Structure 1
Amino acid sequence: MQRNATTRYPILLVHGLFGFERIGHFELFHDVKSAVKAAGCRVFVPHLCATHDNEMRGEQLLSQIACVLRGTGARKVNLIGHSQGALAARYAAALAPDLVASVTSVSGPNHGSELADFLRKALVPGKLPEVVAQNVATQFADLLCLLSGSVALPQNALAALNALTTVGVGQFNDKFPQGLPQTWGGHGAEQVNGVRYYSWSGVVPQSTQPALDPVQGICRVLSQYFTTEPQQNDGFVGRFSAHLGHVIRSDYPMDHLASLRKTAGTKISSPDPIELYVEHARRLRAADL
């Protein structure tokens, strides 16, 4: 690939809930990282806990940013956060805007997730279902941490769920409103305190035919639990809930996890989710970021 997307500052790909950098030979951001590196960028994937609230993960991200800056000699970084990773990126930019050139939210629940709301209501606080769910999710996160060879990090699945609900993200937004739209479905400020804000997301393709990709099939089922944005969500996050800063597009025909990888059985005319990251690197380069 032609080296025509070299950004001024390194790019950090920030994973979301239950995310990781690498397990064995499998990297969560493998295709994205490879494509953006091939385009000429310096790319890093920080180590964050798989399950916790946005502030805890944001503090971990700040530490990782400091490491990248020391290692590269760069003055700032470009943060691209997928899902909950977008909230950690927003936290880091709000607290250290002098270290962050841009924040890009990819399928980020910037106004909360209706799916998280549904799960929160389904779990009775303090009762057995909640305790069991928290234990299972936390143990799963610990397993991911062990398999990935990462340093042991604190895990709290219940804190993560609460942080992703409409109420939880609303409280987060009260403290860190940078880049948020003033009207529902609108664009937010493109630049705040010297940090550029961007976002893109998708809508799970609806069809009467069975999904060829099992993950897309699951997202189709989950999308039915949305009431505020029915048929306008990716199975995890609503289209307008994902808006932040300059909204590149919020209705790409792809489910929540398809924004990280190519989906089996997609048509040739469908957007290449990996190419979206390369295009964005060119966008950052054009903005001298």
Structure 2
Amino acid sequence: MNDKRIYFRIRNIIIFTLLMNMIFIFNIMKTKILCYIIGIIVLLLYLYINIIPLRLKKLNKRVCIMVSGYELIADSSLAVLIEIILYIFLLNTDNLTINSKEFIINGITAVCVLIIPVINGFMRMMFTSRNLGVVNRLLIVLLWWAPILNFIILNGCCKKVRYEYFYEQSKELRNDVRKENEVCRTRYPIVMVHGIFFRDWMFINYWGRIPKELMRNGAQIFYGKQQSSNAVCKSAQELKENILKIINDTGCEKVNIIAHSKGGLDSRYAISCLGLSKYVASLTTVNTPHRGCKYVDFLLDKAPDKFKNYVAKKYNRTFVKLGDKNPDFLAGVADLTLEKCSQFNIKVKDVEGVLYQSVTSKMKNMFSSGFPLNIGYILAKIFDGENDGLVEVSSAKWGNFLGTLTAGKKGISHGDMVDLTRQDIRGYDVCEFYVDLVRKLKEKGN
């Protein structure tokens, strides 16, 4: 805990304790005017604490509000302990001038004083934390009234928020240290290529917090901007056109491509079959099914044509409204089968002069992620083996393999690799992983 937070905590506990025990203070002090002055000052400070969030150096407003919420709950808990000790002391004092009625009124006042910062703190955490997730939010909303359970859930939420604060703080400290070095300023710009069923939207970034972190460390970032789902050859053509536009606009000679999921296949095709190789210095594929997915074959084979066409029609119609020109759900999925990927690898050969490298991850069980990756994990586990919820580990290996990432009890899912949920995972700093990845590209002269 830094010095500023220690100061705020001590200040808050003193104010809470004084306000909780104003009945006792009025009883003990003989000068009533002084009591009123103290009471007004303490009340104003109490309101200030509950309205104005902490201002912590170099941390953004969201994090400051979140930490303020955590502190309000933590400080209220400590104030409760102090109050219990105070009551035990007073009850064991022989010359006590406080009657039972005042004890009860003071106790009710103390409860009211503490309820406000607890609710306030919880609401701040609810609306600002990225780590809490939907499940924790639902649990506390549904079970706030349940004794013991509500404290267990609230304690779990506080731990997640505390970890998120330390994560954000350490990230800021790291960036301060290396700011001038621009460790991610590569020779060539970075083009980040999304996977299937997503688009490069202006307001919802497929890559989460990653691009911003890379840019803070000197990287020049662009996006693939291909449609959400289409045949690899068509997506590759769109990718090629966009990369040529980037080169024309910036004057750079080449680009470094970082591609996730099917985006890796789109990129390989554009490099090998569409003449893009002379404009690409490196291709890093992240959780890309280079050898296909067996369960995709199974699903396409077993699902009735009527059902497949219905889903495809709904998908295509939806994504046209979201910005795609002519998406093709079935064509995109079909190119992920074993047969199509086998044919793809025969046709699409690596080009000399382009650095090819890959990385993947794996989940540890079906509870490691939510829908649809939990279902995908089961299917991929049955047909393939260890997987990230969609892609089997061996299928993701291509070129220089950088390894299989996993962490904690849950592991790392297909979505976690691109910060899809914006949640921090113990043992895996997604932003730092990409900073290190790009730093090494820079060291290679790319």
CA RMSD of aligned residues (A): 1.9
Match of 1:51 among 197, 220, 229: 229
Corresponding position: 1:130 with 2:284: no
Match of 2:334 among 136, 158, 162: 162
- Do the aligned partners of 1:106 and 1:201 also contact (CA within 8 Å) in 2? yes
Aligned residue in 2 for 1:225: 379
Aligned residue in 1 for 2:301: 121
Q: Distance in 1 between matches of 2:242 and 2:424?
A: 35
Match of 1:275 among 413, 432, 436: 432
Q: Distance in 1 between matches of 2:295 and 2:417?
A: 18
When you count strand as a share of all residues, which structure comes out higher?
1
Q: Distance in 2 between matches of 1:259 and 1:114?
A: 22
List aligned pairs for 1:62-81, cutoff 5 A. Answer: 62-81=240-259
Query: How far off is 1:206 after superposition?
Result: 1.8
Aligned residue in 1 for 2:95: none
Structure 1 alignment gaps of length 5 or more: 146-151, 179-191
Q: Distance in 1 between matches of 2:401 and 2:301?
A: 30
108-117 or 46-55, larger mean C-alpha shift: 108-117
The one-letter amino acid paired with 2:433 is L
The one-letter amino acid paired with 2:370 is P
26-35 or 100-109, larger mean C-alpha shift: 26-35
Equivalent residue of 2:241, what SS?
Answer: helix
- Do the aligned partners of 1:103 and 1:198 also contact (CA within 8 Å) in 2? yes
Q: Distance in 1 between matches of 2:266 and 2:212?
A: 23
Q: Distance in 1 between matches of 2:383 and 2:295?
A: 11
Query: How far off is 1:37 after superposition?
Result: 1.0
The one-letter amino acid paired with 1:32 is I
List aligned pairs for 1:91-240, cutoff 5 A. Answer: 91-94=269-272, 95-124=275-304, 127-145=305-323, 152-178=324-350, 192-206=351-365, 211=368, 214-215=370-371, 218-226=372-380, 227-230=382-385, 232-240=386-394
Query: How far off is 1:223 after superposition?
Result: 1.2
Query: How far off is 1:54 after superposition?
Result: 0.8
Segments of 4+ moved more than 6 angstroms: none
Deviations 1:66-110 (A, max 9, x none): 111011110000111110101111112213211100011001011
- Do the aligned partners of 1:90 and 1:176 also contact (CA within 8 Å) in 2? yes
Corresponding position: 1:15 with 2:194: yes
Aligned residue in 2 for 1:86: 264
Number of matched residues?
A: 260
Query: How far off is 1:4 after superposition?
Result: 1.3
Query: How far off is 1:228 after superposition?
Result: 4.3
- Do the aligned partners of 1:243 and 1:250 also contact (CA within 8 Å) in 2? no
**Alpha-carbon distance change, 79 to 234 in structure 1, aligned in 2, over 3 angstroms:** same
The one-letter amino acid paired with 1:105 is T
Corresponding position: 1:6 with 2:185: yes
Equivalent residue of 1:104, what SS?
Answer: strand
Structure 2 alignment gaps of length 5 or more: 1-174
Equivalent residue of 2:379, what SS?
Answer: coil
105-114 or 14-23, larger mean C-alpha shift: 14-23
List aligned pairs for 1:237-248, cutoff 5 A. Answer: 237-248=391-402
Query: How far off is 1:19 after superposition?
Result: 1.5
- Do the aligned partners of 1:114 and 1:165 also contact (CA within 8 Å) in 2? yes
* TM-score, length of structure 2 as denominator length: 0.55
Q: Distance in 2 between matches of 1:118 and 1:39?
A: 44
Q: Distance in 2 between matches of 1:219 and 1:262?
A: 12
- Do the aligned partners of 2:184 and 2:215 also contact (CA within 8 Å) in 1? no
Aligned residue in 1 for 2:25: none
When you count helix as a share of all residues, which structure comes out higher?
2
Equivalent residue of 1:140, what SS?
Answer: helix
Q: Distance in 1 between matches of 2:268 and 2:423?
A: 34
- Do the aligned partners of 1:262 and 1:272 also contact (CA within 8 Å) in 2? no
